[in-house]
Amino acid sequence: MFAQDALALLDQLLPVTLSNLQETVFCQVWEDKTYAEIADEYNYEHSYIRDIGFRLWQLLSEALREKVTKSNVKAVLSRYARSQTATAAQRTTVQSDLATKYASVESAALEFPNGPVPLNSRLYIERPPIEARTFAEVLKPGSLIRLKGPRQMGKTSLLRRILHHAKTHDIEVVPLSLHRVDQATLQDLDRFLRWFCANISYQLGIESKLDEYWNTDIGSKVSCTLYLEEYLLKQIQKPIAIALDEVNELFQFSQISAEFLPLLRSWYEDAKEIEEWRKVRWILSHATDIYVPLQIKQSPFNVGLSIPLPEFSIPQIQDLVERHGLRNLLGVNGINKLMPLLEVISCRPGLVRLALYHLSQQSADVDELIANGHTQSGIYSDHLRHLLAAIHPYQDLQSALLTVIASEGSVELPPMTAYRLESIGLIKLEGNMATISCRLYSKFFSQYLSA
């Protein structure tokens, strides 16, 4: 059996479509190449290729319900192929399906890109080596991962995959979204820390005993630490991954963030000496760096593994185009047709996915998306209204944004203003100099703020 024949079997077996790199690794392993040889040939890190292979064998093991490894994959798939008694008509159907690998999927079956990309979605695009690095890091005792990027960059989609990877390695996961915290809770440190402990207890299925450990004389931060260290972490046998999504929600509550974030840093540091804290893996998702007066040794934003989320590359967009079945946009000519739109939306993952969805549904063509994308009737209207609502109450932010838009180059803004605009995702910062993050935003805000 040749490698391409084996790939044909994978297309039948697996519930997800393999990425280009996964297919490459599979084919090279089939030709008896080592991970090191593959990494050298394709200019990747050895550990990254090894992790790609590990996840491939895990997917096949689940599909075939038997253990699949690098060493036995040939034997297992050959045995599976021999066991098939497909008729000639069925074989023809399989060949036809392979010839139209992505385009055969009806466009109506594509999920609308609203929120994080589902775990089982074939439309999730990996951005090497980000997934491999974070997947490896979450398995390390006492680790901390920081995912940084504005809206529409895929933070939550990646965070959910890190947690899923942790679960497959027998790690308990505790996702905490700070979008869901009551405003009243965010006004009081004691109340917030009790919320934090109670939520972790509930998700781990451990009886909450907050009142037994909370002591007003020693303070809420010490009480919270004792509750986690002396009670909760001693109750669990497995390690846990605690994920705090949208940590920047805390930034506007300076009293909470100035107290809680150094406390979080101290727990991370405690993992170096205290065994209970080594059970914890922290994952923080945030739009930008904090702008509150924290000492360097108190901030959790300068330790651990930092992962700034980039825009899609052109090859990644081509992969996504293929998965949408948009054959007319494949190849050099296709990407040239798409490039004017990509320049408008700056290859932002969420904005790219929304555009490709509408193109696949034939509800608009590229020229229409460029002409109408910034308008109230365009496909980005909901996203743009959300951004407008975020700065509408603040005249200083509106004025600063118009200054950036009007500037031919970069412009320096007051630090707090720059932080707030960057956290919303409207500007990019290089040092102290700001530029607009996306031409789509220039067209929309120059129109509405001027009006």
- pLDDT-derived band at 22, boundaries 50, 70, 90: confident
Give the three-class secondary structure for 3. helix
In angstroms, rounded to a whole number, what is the distance separating the alpha carbons of residues 13 and 10?
5
Instruction: Please state the rounded mean pLDDT for residues 357-361.
Output: 94
pLDDT tens digit sequence for 142-160: 999 999 988 889 999 999 9
413: CB partners within 8 A, 6+ apart: 400, 403, 404, 421, 427, 432, 434
Please determine, for residue 170, whether its predicted confidence score (pLDDT) is greater than 50. yes
pLDDT digits (tens, 9 = 90+) for 434-449: 999 999 999 999 988 8
Which tokens in the block code for residue 397? 């932010």
Query: CB pairs under 8 A, 24+ apart, for 16-20?
Result: 16/59, 16/120, 16/122, 17/101, 17/102, 17/122, 17/323, 18/56, 19/125, 19/126, 19/319, 20/315, 20/319
Count of residues in the chain? 451
Q: Cβ distance 250 to 184 under 8 Å?
A: no
The reported pLDDT for the residue numbered 46 is 82
Q: Distance (Å, rounded) from C-alpha 209 to C-alpha 201?
A: 9
Average pLDDT score over the chain? 87
Confidence of residue 290 (pLDDT cuts 50, 70, 90): low
Q: Cα–chain-centroid distance for residue 272?
A: 28
Return d(Cα 333, Cα 229) in angstroms, integer.
59
Q: Which two tokens stand for residue 163?
A: 């947690």
What pLDDT is recorded for position 286? Answer: 87
Q: Does 97 have pLDDT greater than 50?
A: no
Q: For residues 384 and 19, which has the higher predicted lDDT (pLDDT)?
A: 384
Query: In CATH, what is the architecture of 130-308?
Result: 3-Layer(aba) Sandwich (3.40)
* Cα gap 438→224, rounded to integer Å: 42
pTM comes to 0.74
Q: Is 243 left (phi over 0), alpha (psi -120 to 50) or beta?
A: beta
- Token couple for 180: 């869901």
Mean pLDDT of 133-150: 94
- Provide the b/e sequence for 377-414 (b: ≥16 CB within 10 Å): ebbbeebbeebeebbeeeeebbebbeebbeeeebbebe
Positive or negative torsion for Cα 380, 383, 388, 389: positive
Q: Strand 433-436 to strand 411-412: parallel, antiparallel, or no bridges (unpaired)?
A: antiparallel
Q: Which residues, at least 6 apart from 6, have a Cβ–Cβ distance to it below 8 Å?
A: 26, 30, 74, 77
Q: Over the stretch 190-207, which tens digit does the pLDDT of each residue have?
A: 999 999 999 999 999 999
- Residue 92 reports pLDDT greater than 50: no
DSSP 232: I
Residues 35, 37: Cα–Cα separation, whole Å: 5
Give the relative orientation of helices 331-345 and 314-323 as an angle to the nearest 10 degrees: 110
Please say if the pLDDT value at position 108 is more than 80: no
Q: Taking the domains of the chain in order of start, what are their residue ranges?
A: 3-101, 130-308, 383-450
Percent of the chain with pLDDT over 70: 91
List residues bridging with 433 in a β-sheet. 412, 430
Instruction: Specify the pLDDT at position 40.
Output: 82
Token output for 72: 């036995």
> Counting Cβ atoms within 10 Å, is residue 296 exposed (0-12), middle (13-18) or buried (19+)?
exposed
More confident residue, 286 or 380: 380
- Give the CATH number of domain 383-450: 1.10.10
94 has a pLDDT exceeding 50: no
Q: Are strands 433-436 and 427-430 parallel, antiparallel or unpaired?
A: antiparallel
Give me the DSSP letters along 344-399.
HHTT-HHHHHHHHHHHHTTS--HHHHHHHTTSTTSTTHHHHHHHHHHHTT-HHHHH
Task: Calculate mean pLDDT across residues 378-404.
Answer: 93
Comparing 22 with 103, which gets the higher pLDDT? Answer: 22
Average pLDDT for residues 120-142, to the nearest whole number? 94
Choice among 35-49, 109-123, 199-213, 244-258 with the minimum mean pLDDT: 35-49
Tell me how far apart the alpha carbons of residues 20 and 320 are, in angstroms, rounded to a whole number: 11
Backbone phi and psi for residue 270, each to the nearest 5 degrees, phi listed first:
-65, -25
Query: Are both 130-308 and 383-450 of the same fold?
Result: no
